[in-house]
Amino acid sequence: SQTIHQWPATLVQPVGSPLSLECTVEGTSNPNLYWYRQAAGRGLQLLFYSVGIGQISSEVPQNLSASRPQDRQFILSSKKLLLSDSGFYLCAWGGPLTRNTGELFFGEGSRLTVL
């Protein structure tokens, strides 16, 4: 069966420090991968999605970047964190877009607090 792992689960970082959140998927190949952010009391905002190694699409301009160095690895990064980057970050995977019905499977999330 497929599993998705996300770490770290909790992170407290000062403003201006770098960020790296990692996500890996097991039990499937060539997944579509997604990074979402959930701000307190709000819905989910899609940040990045990837359909393959090195292929990243950004949905919103921001202080963050994403990379996909391996088929089942997705990394969210920042060179200098802002206070507004605080939130709950969720990684998700889904099947090939043309052959599935769109459901995504989510990791446990990473809570980032920027002080």
Partner 1 sequence: AQSVTQLDSHVSVSEGTPVLLRCNYSSSYSPSLFWYVQHPNKGLQLLLKYTSAATLVKGINGFEAEFKKSETSFHLTKPSAHMSDAAEYFCVVSARDTGRRALTFGSGTRLQVQP
Asked if 60 interacts with partner 1 (CB under 8 A), we say no
Asked if 103 interacts with partner 1 (CB under 8 A), we say yes
> 98: which residues sit within 8 A by CB, 6+ positions away?
none
Size of the site for partner 1 (CB under 8 A): 21
Sign of the CA dihedral running 111, 22, 76, 60: negative
Of 30, 77, 101, 113, which one interacts with partner 1 (CB under 8 A)? 101
- What's the CA gap between 31 and 96, in Å, rounded? 7
Nearer Cβ to partner 1, position 107 or 114? 107
Nearest to 73 by CA among 8, 6, 1, 9: 6
Nearer Cβ to partner 1, position 22 or 105? 105
- 3-state DSSP assignment of residue 7: strand
Helices (H), the chain: none
Nearer Cβ to partner 1, position 37 or 85? 37
Of 97, 112, 114, 115, which one interacts with partner 1 (CB under 8 A)? 97
Of 44, 65, 71, 73, which one interacts with partner 1 (CB under 8 A)? 44
